[in-house]
């Protein structure tokens, strides 16, 4: 198993890409800390994994609240004995054209998608430094690399994640910690399920592979970057987008 005896934190793990990652990591032998703001669904997801015989525990957390993050990181260390992997997957959207985007919606997305990544990474860093090894995977987006209409706040945070990823890769590489990012394209999740079918078809026509991605597609990329197979991969942004941005 590719993650045997590893302990992983996955934020935003209650649904979508996060839960797909939790399932994949558990199957590959990891003890999985499912961290999420949704207490009911998160606890249910952890129960599902435990019933299948996997090591999993839910941790209620608000990634925008540093005290919450520090408590979560300490609790994971106490529960599993170590923290080998951090998947900064939690994120929100509050889309709107620049002329209509409120300051509150701009700030709330920054608080979760950018500052939350900072909080989580800084909170687990001491544990990884003590071990002399760790894998940190951040979630960017093609919107953060190329921009996207109506996503000033979201694109800004995801571009910021790329900058932080490359900075941390340079700072932490010699300390045994690999830092990389994933840039998903259009992924079929609960959010995209609400998009009208006509729009979904237009999106599919833009993608050379002819389909939207699935949460498993992103989970598999997380899995590679979290495993020992990626020990010489550092500071990269892996696009998992079906070729839409070639």
Using N-to-C axis directions, what is the helix angle for 16-27 and 215-226, rounded to 10°? 50
**Could you give the CA distance from residue 122 to residue 69 in angstroms, rounded to a whole number?**
9
**Could you give the CA distance from residue 202 to residue 79 in angstroms, rounded to a whole number?**
46
Cβ atoms 29, 1 nearer than 8 A: yes
**Could you give the CA distance from residue 201 to residue 212 in angstroms, rounded to a whole number?**
9
Contacts of 156 (CB under 8 A, 6+ apart): 110, 114, 144
CA atoms within 13 A on the CB side of 245: 16
**Could you give the CA distance from residue 86 to residue 57 in angstroms, rounded to a whole number?**
15
**Could you give the CA distance from residue 58 to residue 9 in angstroms, rounded to a whole number?**
10
Sheet holding 177-184, edge to edge: 56-60, 31-36, 7-11, 85-88, 134-139, 177-184, 237-240
Active site residues: 154
8-state DSSP, 193: G
**Could you give the CA distance from residue 215 to residue 219 in angstroms, rounded to a whole number?**
6
């Amino acid at each position: 198993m590719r993650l045997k005896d590893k302990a992983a934190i996955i934020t935003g793990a209650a649904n979508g890409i996060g839960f797909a990652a939790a399932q994949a990591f558990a199957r590959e032998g990891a003890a999985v800390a499912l961290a999420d703001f949704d207490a009911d669904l998160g606890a249910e997801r952890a129960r599902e994994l435990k019933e299948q015989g996997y090591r999993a525990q839910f941790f209620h957390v608000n990634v925008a609240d540093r005290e919450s993050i520090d408590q979560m990181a300490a609790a994971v260390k106490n529960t599993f004995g170590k923290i080998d992997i951090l998947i900064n997957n939690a994120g929100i959207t509050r889309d709107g054209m620049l002329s209509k985007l409120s300051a509150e919606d701009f700030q709330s997305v920054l608080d979760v998608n950018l500052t939350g990544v900072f909080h989580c990474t800084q909170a687990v860093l001491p544990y990884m430094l003590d071990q002399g090894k760790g894998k940190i995977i951040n979630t960017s987006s093609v919107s953060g690399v190329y921009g996207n209409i109506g996503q000033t706040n979201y694109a800004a945070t995801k571009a910021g994640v790329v900058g932080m990823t490359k900075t941390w890769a340079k700072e932490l590489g010699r300390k045994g910690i690999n830092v990389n990012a994933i840039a998903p394209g259009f992924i079929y999740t609960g959010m995209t399920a609400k998009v009208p079918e006509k729009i979904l078809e237009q999106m599919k026509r833009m993608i050379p592979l002819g389909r939207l991605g699935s949460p498993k597609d992103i989970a598999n990329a997380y899995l590679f970057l979290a495993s020992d197979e990626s020990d010489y991969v550092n500071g990269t942004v892996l696009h998992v987008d079906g070729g839409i941005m070639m």
